[in-house]
A and B are shown apart, each in its own frame.
Chain A
Amino acid sequence: MANEFATTDDAPLTASKDKHAAEQAGQTLIEPKGDSLVGRAVTINRPAAELFAYWRDFSNLASFMENVVSIDTLDAKRSHWVVKAPAGKTVEWNAVVTDEAENSFIAWASEEGADVPNSGRIDFREAGARGTVVTATINYDPPMGVVGKVIAKLFQREPAIQARRDLRRFKQLMETGEIATAAFTQEQLDEERN
């Protein structure tokens, strides 16, 4: 990646120890929306086309994104998100697809007035016999800045934790057709999912 931060390090920006990593990602990958950068990669034993198609229908995402209350499709590019926040609150925004390539990637950014300004991209890269590497990169501005981030983390609603768990659930759903649970009654399962 040719830029002023270029080094002999091929690691992704999301693993960078450099505090300017978020800013750099904004220059190269996605629209700049804040100082927090999250990245997660997971390999899923399914074809990229199948994963892309499932993800691109945003109404599907609530099935594995635990903190999502609802996603309403507004038009081909825009959707309205309602997401759980700490202390029983919710945050909302409109997301717009800023760029995409079929079976390859989807990039999005929140519109003006978002409770939590955010942007990101989800990449699907064919990985031969291993399936598809799915990488989520999210750039966001936590509410109440660093304090909000710490509070969110306490309540396990921090985007880094959520992204990691959501991608695992996506993998489970795509590979096994279900999302693993240790509950043994419907009541326990309902509690777990709320």
Chain B
Amino acid sequence: MRALAWHGKHDVRMDTVPDPEILNPRDAIIKITSTAICGSDLHLYDNYIPTMQAGDILGHEFMGEVVETGPKSTLKKGQRVVVPFTIACGSCYHCGKHQYSACDNGLPADNQDIAQTIYGQPMSGLFGYSHMTGGYAGGQAEYVRVPFSDVGPIVIPDGVDDDKVLFLSDILPTGWQAAEYAEIEPGDTVAVWGCGPVGLFAVQSAFLMGAERVIAIDHFPKRLELARKFGAETINFEESAVYEALMEMTGGIGPDAVIDAVGLEAHGLFVDNIVDQIKASTFLGTDRTHSIRQAIIACRKGGRVSMPAVYGGFVDKFPLGAFMEKGLTLKTGQTHVQHYMPALLNAIMEEKIDTTFLISHRMDLEDAPKAYDMFKNDQNNVTKVVLKPGLGR
């Protein structure tokens, strides 16, 4: 099959590799029909993430058609499914509590060592995202092997277009969880840092959860325009001072809840710095953690901080004093995708949520290397690229 493989910094190529096979009883093989490039893929592209190996197949936002099933899979050939980016078993203690991204069994035993060392306990597996998250081949390919296919993938009814449901795989549940973690109360003002896909979905979700006002913060005009379409007020941080603006806009109180949806773009996973600890202080002591610091300082007393933004290592200059003195609450974590998928699919079917606005480019899978370059270098115009195998033929 053809697949997008990582070969090094800013070097991704379409390679011909063997087709995936059923290896475990609960596996399924999916023929990809749509697969997106995530903002977090850019960190692999920029070589921020350690434990990548040349030839690793990328992609963790994908959907397609079931073409083969293991004896314990509950899927049927021909079904269309969206696959969660988190690989979770559904049978461990954490999956039982719907904490799917904390699954005990998603990672191969040997790969658990790295996360155990860095984080204290291993996390779930992820598709196409380095060997510390399992080394699983991703979905920017013609086919993918999906473990635990009886738990993860959600079946999509016939007649629903790929573009409407593709983002159930990651960014829509991530934006939704971010808003849920902000514990929004009626009348609240919520501030969202970052108007990438997760930030924009968090804006939408916050309104659906009863926020009276949402203030969106970014510097890309096109992204701020999108936030405004959903009813958000905006702050362009290149034009205005964010803290001052927020305080004025909230009558000197500060937002009731703040959401940091910047992390990945601005910060990277930084695990490389843990591995190379020597560099940590210089690398992390920059403005790269600016959004979470600003969010904590701006948040009203007793308010809530939600952090969907991905951080991998250590940060310094974290305003722990402000956090403690103001009595803030922080909720964060990788998304428990499997938990949110059914309700969000319903919301899409009932047309309460539309995610298609986000897609700025649809391209053939063969053009994936070009798409990475575009996404990296023109973030104002390229909000989301969806790759479709065979689109150009």
Contacts and interface: CB of A to CB of B under 8 A. Distances in A.
Interface of A: 43, 45, 66, 130-131, 161, 164-166, 168-169, 171-172, 175-187, 189
Contacts of B93: 43, 45, 130-131
B310 interface: no
Contacts of B135: 182
A180 B91 CA distance: 13
B21 interface: yes
Contact of B21 (A66, A175, A180, A186): A186
B20 A180 contact: no
B96 interface: yes
Nearest to B151: A176
Nearest to A161: B113
Interface of B: 18-21, 23-26, 72, 89-93, 96, 104-113, 125, 131, 134-137, 144-145, 147-148
A166 B109 CA distance: 8
Given A178-B25, A182-B125, A185-B18, A45 B109 contact: no
B92 A180 contact: no
A176 B108 contact: no
Given A131-B93, A165-B110, A182 B104 contact: no
B275 to A, nearest CB: 18
By secondary structure, the B interface counts as loop
B23 A183 contact: yes
Given A45-B92, A45-B96, A184-B20, A172 B26 contact: no
Contacts of B89: 172, 175-176, 180
Nearest to B122: A168
A69 B110 CA distance: 18
Contacts of A183: 23
Contacts of B110: 165
A45 B91 contact: yes
A185 B20 contact: yes
Q: Which of A168, A169, A182, A183 has the most chain B CB atoms closer than 10 A to its own CB?
A: A182
Nearest to A180: B108
Nearest to A172: B105
A177 B109 contact: no
24 contacts: A45-B91, A161-B113, A165-B110, A166-B109, A172-B89, A172-B105, A172-B109, A175-B91, A176-B89, A176-B90, A178-B25, A180-B107, A180-B147, A181-B23, A181-B108, A181-B147, A182-B108, A182-B125, A182-B136, A184-B20, A184-B21, A184-B145, A185-B19, A186-B21
